[in-house]
A and B are shown apart, each in its own frame.
Chain A
């Protein structure tokens, strides 16, 4: 019941927020609700058994009997970390939107909670159709979030975002239906969409022939996830969506939604189609390497801070994809860890940019300069998060990036040699941006703010400190004591790697 509670509590909160009569206390309700949700997820964390790779806290009920579709939830180490990330970021997002979202507040919080349900659902669903339902459900609140509270070109961005992701998921739906038709082989006659039955399918793989079931199914699934990641060259929806999205939207998009792509790779693609994943790993690793370098280079010349961070996401997600497709323990563990890191550090970067945008209403790098003198605490926070983003040791980013690079070295030294350039380029674009925004003589905006008494460039407010402190603490905590986090996921990941060719995710009852 705990997982159902975890998934559906946000929906209840969404309804509560909509029905809440008092506008002034609405935000407090939302904040309290999201913290309650985080507490529930802490219960899940406590009940979780680190040592077991099995699915835990399983819930299974028949949903559509005729097609073997069940309401099947379960959690293992891979899901757990992403669930925690989701529930952890939501209160922060609500707190961050305190001032920046001031119209249609109800709608905003309701969308946010529905989105949370959808994301948690896709991390916890162990039934293909249920997973697909949550996967698609997540698009709708995101669509509204960008479309209603977004910037000037928001309609263009939402439509691009929507069409890209829909195009991918349609193929995935086809693949799911195709696989459901095969399940009677393993269930003894009845059709099923449970992931456990999918794992048993063992669709034969024929190398060299593209039009064979495993290859086609692999690409159908992989395309959906690759768009979500987003992998080069399917990434162009991301910068537009990020630039147009309001700050909370950007944070949740970068922080959690993008993780649904890599999660899909780990949960569905690699165990379902192990041979095809291995056979085509060069394709994905190649795209990852190109993504790292391309994203970094393109980020370097962006005139808009938010776009710069968006392209840096492309670069970071390239690392994650490489980590996953090396299919060794280092790469996968590192990839999973990097998913959390990226959620935290890029999320924090978007929050910080949102804060500065609230003050100056501009994101042009060239208009800034000398901000460090005006906002020292803000600068410190920004530099710390930057260090995490460029993977300086003792911050979380280093652990993930190092493990991924180590994994890629085992895959091929050349991949490691090429992707390590991302380390250099990452430092280049981030520090160059920091230099132009914070250092040097005072820029146009800072000077204007100094003249204008109503438009004061005040330093971090207590609320903003409250937003940033958990993230910064986590950056160091995850960098200094990574074992405490990795122990939750390591068993599951290592189990996956050892048994990927006959992967059986044991449910609690089937042990």
Chain B
């Protein structure tokens, strides 16, 4: 089939779905709306699969499908085409977006069926998929930026979906504006790269990327990539711009699964992987990325320990897992970053949908202190959630194990890695295991603390089928990228993942010098063992603390009182931003207006008019109707003229 047509259908199908639902947004028939939207995304998924198969069948060095549609705009040397590229990286992304997207759409039909705005909801969701596809497939940074801003817009609309609640509307606004901060940096990054390389086409940029490393902090590539990374911190919720993501949980839960876990928030990672030849030559940028990633992974995990809202726990977990991905790309393990992106999309989407199922079954209750023992009411949700839990805490052979282990190993062994980065990653893994087990224990296990008026029930099959599919993916999703040390002991299972991506991944130049980094298989086994045992011990501790010894958490909290308070309040970062940036900005603006506009500029114009008026009133006073005075002027004039003439 014609590739151009396929890509066009792939991208336009959700847009058409959006338009179909958008024009009839007042309807409340959830089946019609859901059917339109789900079909649209599923059609895209079919196209993605077809494109992917074409890529697989193509020879290894021709696995790129580039299609152009028209010239968007061109001024002077700056020309941007509406063009899309399906290659090894973007093909995986479109599979995730449309595949997981279809499942989430399906789930939404069940989840949103009672909502009056269901048609509008599906319209937004389709619009989001459309923009996400633009982001992923765009062949230049600018077309990517179109999707980049577009998904931000959809995120804004969906977070504030229940806009009658001021707090939810505010959360949407916060997400958009925080993203805008990153986007502004992204724009500057594009300018730097354009000024340096004369193009924004991703393929050309990658080809033009210099081969020598740029040691200085102020080099064009370093600055440009740093700016792009700031953009990524906005979109992918990293320090310091992560604050919007926990608030974004105000949106409907499937939205959190699709946008704020599986797809949009990974855009930053994707962008870096996309441009990996550029990032490789800027080791300073890479270092910043790795450090920020590791710091975010640990910090968000600590906050996750203390939250009681089921979605907030998952939100902080997402921030933390995104930190892992940035840690991976920061140490040059781009493939590992993409790998974790995919497995995370599976298990985090699963867990968000699972939490949605719980919230739905609990009649909009989100506080895990009011749950417990849900295992017996919601068996399917429980089992699938359990599999997701095993995946996220990195238990072999679940998917999360392979991707997380790859990241940790790279953080340790890569020439751009560091032992401390590995330590941070391992601590993060331990914390993850702890808070996830805590979540499991408080929600599904133990005794029920459910309110008497609430009768938990299992969700319908529209909601459980996506859960089951995602659970299967969470289990087996990691098997495409089994590390060499393990596969060798199990009879040479090839590492499909690495093989697939390798043509587009730049090898670190340091690696070429000393072939394997001088790390042995024994080291890898040891590290693997350490991280798995940290996770197991920590999960077990949580299990014991929250299930066996009911008052242990309380005692522990009392013991570390102030620290707990700080963590519980998210380190007061929001308060800090308000006190140091937003409030001064607002009061400052008020003063600016009052002092500059009202008091300086207007007063100055008033003074000018006073001057004119004063001059006028002086002249007016001369013409007062007193004839004798006029005569005096005449005589004075004659006298002055005469004296001037005579005295010359």
Contacts and interface: CB of A to CB of B under 8 A. Distances in A.
Interface in A341-383: 370, 372-373, 376, 380
Contacts of A486: 73, 75
Interface in B244-273: none
Interface string A416-443: 1100110110011001100100111110
Nearest to A421: B184
Given A372-B163, A394-B146, A410-B195, A424 B180 contact: yes
A428 B188 CA distance: 19
Interface stretch (B411-419, B446-454, B539-547, B588-596): B588-596
A392 B173 contact: no
A460 to B, nearest CB: 13
Nearest to B153: A392
Contacts of B183: 423
* Residue among B25, B73, B191, B590 facing the most chain A CB atoms (10 A cut-off): B73
B72 interface: yes
A301 B187 contact: no
A314 to B, nearest CB: 10
A431 B170 CA distance: 9
Contact of A420 (B145, B184, B192): B184
Interface residues of A, number: 59
A76 to B, nearest CB: 17
Nearest to A239: B597
B181 A432 contact: no
Contacts of A428: 177, 180
B592 A294 contact: yes
B177 A163 contact: no
Contact of B586 (A300, A393, A410): A300
A490 to B, nearest CB: 7
Contact of A490 (B25, B75, B180, B596): B75
A461 interface: no
A424 B142 CA distance: 18
B110 interface: no
A90 interface: no
B636 interface: no
B602 A236 contact: yes
Contacts, number: 135
A200 B165 CA distance: 64
A333 B25 contact: no
B76 A409 contact: no
A500 interface: no
Interface on chain A toward B: helix, strand, loop, or mixed SS? helix
A486 B71 CA distance: 12
Interface in B626-641: none
B164 interface: yes
Contact of A440 (B169, B590, B592, B597): B169
Nearest to A422: B184
* Residue among A301, A394, A413 facing the most chain B CB atoms (10 A cut-off): A301
A263 interface: no
Contact of B176 (A376, A394, A427): A427
Contacts of A441: 164-166
B54 interface: no
Nearest to B74: A483
* Residue among A160, A239, A297 facing the most chain B CB atoms (10 A cut-off): A297
Contact of A423 (B184, B589, B605): B184
Interface string A369-406: 01011001000100000010000111000110011011
Nearest to B71: A483
Contact of A392 (B25, B70, B149, B194): B149
B150 interface: yes
Contacts of A431: 156, 173, 176-177
Contact of B177 (A394, A417, A427): A427
Contact of A417 (B149, B156, B172, B188): B188
Contact of B75 (A300, A301, A329, A372): A329
A399 B75 CA distance: 11
B609 interface: yes
A298 B194 contact: no
Contacts of B25: 376, 380
B164 A439 contact: yes
B187 A420 contact: yes
B14 to A, nearest CB: 14
A494 interface: yes
A393 B176 contact: no
Contact of B160 (A394, A406, A421, A439): A439
Contact of B150 (A330, A370, A394): A394
A422 to B, nearest CB: 9
B492 interface: no
A301 B593 contact: yes
Contacts of B370: none
B191 A406 contact: yes
Given A406-B194, A439-B160, A301 B589 contact: yes
Interface string A325-349: 0001110011000000000000000
Interface in B128-183: 142, 145-146, 149-150, 153, 156, 160, 163-166, 169-170, 172-173, 176-177, 180-181, 183
Nearest to B590: A301
Interface string B346-369: 000000000000000000000000
Nearest to B77: A329
A83 B522 CA distance: 76
Contacts of A333: 75-76
B465 interface: no
A431 B588 CA distance: 19
B197 to A, nearest CB: 14
Contacts of A435: 160, 166, 169-170, 172-173
A452 B399 CA distance: 61
A406 B73 contact: no
B150 A483 contact: no
B76 A438 contact: no
8 contacts: A164-B605, A297-B593, A398-B146, A402-B187, A409-B192, A420-B184, A439-B169, A483-B72
Interface of B: 25-26, 70-76, 78, 142, 145-146, 149-150, 153, 156, 160, 163-166, 169-170, 172-173, 176-177, 180-181, 183-184, 187-188, 191-192, 194-195, 585-586, 588-590, 592-593, 596-597, 600-602, 605, 609
Q: Which 10 A-B pairs have the closest CB atoms?
A: A439-B169, A440-B166, A329-B76, A297-B589, A439-B163, A393-B146, A409-B191, A482-B73, A298-B593, A427-B180
Given A402-B142, A406-B191, A440-B169, 4 more contacts: A300-B589, A398-B146, A398-B149, A405-B191
